[in-house]
Amino acid sequence: MADVNYIKHLNAIFALFQKDSRLNPTHISLYLAFFQIWNHNRFRESFHVNREDVMQLSKIGSKSTYHRCTKQLHHYKYLIYMPSHNPFKGSVIKMLKFETTSEQALDLGVPNQGQALVPSNKQYKQIKNSYKLELPKNELEVLDFFKKENWPQLEAQKFYNHYQANGWKIGVK
């Protein structure tokens, strides 16, 4: 089943998810975790899964929730679930194809003759820049701040020297 179109499959499955009132976010998260593993396995017809890995990928914290949602996805015909009942051998998942067509869709509609609206980045730039904090003017300002907070002066000097050395960037090693 290596001829799976990633985008078409996801578009089709999202359309189905939207129409299916039985599903909750846990089902969708679990399905997407299975889809990611399926993609990692190059869309093989079936593949083994490790419950702990899938739970971590889908952010499910409960084994009972994992098993309930997996069985429901099987029952709702989103996938085929074959439990192994062997703790040393993972269960088998077979993903079903949901693509509608394998051909390029042609848009035969008349294009809109109006002016194209281009999104403005002005608001985004203002928000992005509003989070920048003002840098201390000198070491004395840092020392005063640490003193006001009753923190050790030695830590203030370490702090100032560290961030001065890396250009006041966070996460630089």
Q: CATH number for the 6-95 domain, one of 1.10.760, 1.20.120, 1.10.10, 1.10.3470?
A: 1.10.10
- Return the DSSP state at 38: H
Is the whole-model pTM more than 0.75? no
* Cα–Cα distance, 42 to 65 (Å, whole number): 27
Per residue in 20-76, pLDDT (tens digit) is 999 999 999 999 999 999 999 999 999 999 999 999 999 999 999 999 999 999 999
Cα–Cα dist 146/14, whole Å: 52
- Domain regions of the chain by residue span: 6-95, 134-173
pLDDT tens for 67-126 read 999 999 999 999 999 998 887 888 999 999 887 655 555 454 555 555 555 565 555 555
